[in-house]
A and B are shown apart, each in its own frame.
Chain A
């Protein structure tokens, strides 16, 4: 008899996060992480960003991006620790740190995006 696990669900979250992160984070990190701070491009004004974040669709996209990317990180990082560093005996602690971190981060993302004026 095979035991039912939540592993398939975690894998789906991992791959959904992988797709969203691959599509969105490169351009966002180039713009906000490098191009604006280095002055290659003029950063958008406060009013404009506020208006952009005011739209439900952009909040929804950002929420999905944050949540799924965090679960993507949790899953991948967990296996990096397993395989890369060969620490399998700290199983429970690693799972708690990874998935717990993703859940806390998702809650924070939900709160921060919800309270945008």
Chain B
């Protein structure tokens, strides 16, 4: 009986499984694909990871702008009109939120990734984070100044 049953199971599967003798059986609980909804910190993690999609979208948007500018005045005006259409505007609003979230989490984590020592003493993490934020402010001001025509 058991033999026949095993035979049937064996035939039902395309390949006979390779058994290892004396191997312990794993006990693995199935993880739900929605595990990150259960805790705020996990949700923050996933939102931070999702910010990368908006980073990629902005690269596409930027390249469309570059392409429009190099095709001439008319194409540039068309691009400006297109970027004001509700769908694109909404996407870009979400992009601003996610990209700022990316920047804040990135700069706040920097002290953990970057250990700077001066004369054997470790520079406090708050200083590293502060210098990152200062660089962010400086670069933003520079970009705004250059873009808006100085």
Distance of A49 Cα from B73 Cα, bound (Å)? 10
- Are A53 and B92 also in contact (CB < 8 A) when A23-B136, A80-B52 are? no
| Contact mask for chain B residues 79-110; partner A; CB cutoff 8 A; 1 contact, 0 none | 01001100011001101100110110011000
B61 contact set on A, CB distance < 8 A: 29, 32-33
- Are A84 and B49 also in contact (CB < 8 A) when A18-B106, A29-B95 are? yes
| Contact mask for chain B residues 126-150; partner A; CB cutoff 8 A; 1 contact, 0 none | 0000000001100110011011110
Asked if A13 CB lies within 8 Å of chain B CBs, one says no
Residues of A contacting B: mostly: helix
The size of the chain A interface, using a CB distance under 8 A, is 55
Residues of B contacting A: mostly: helix
List residues of chain A with CB under 8 Å of any chain B CB: 15, 17-19, 21-34, 36-38, 41, 43-44, 46, 48-50, 52-53, 58, 62, 65-66, 69-70, 72-73, 76-77, 79-80, 83-86, 101, 105, 108-109, 112-113, 115-117
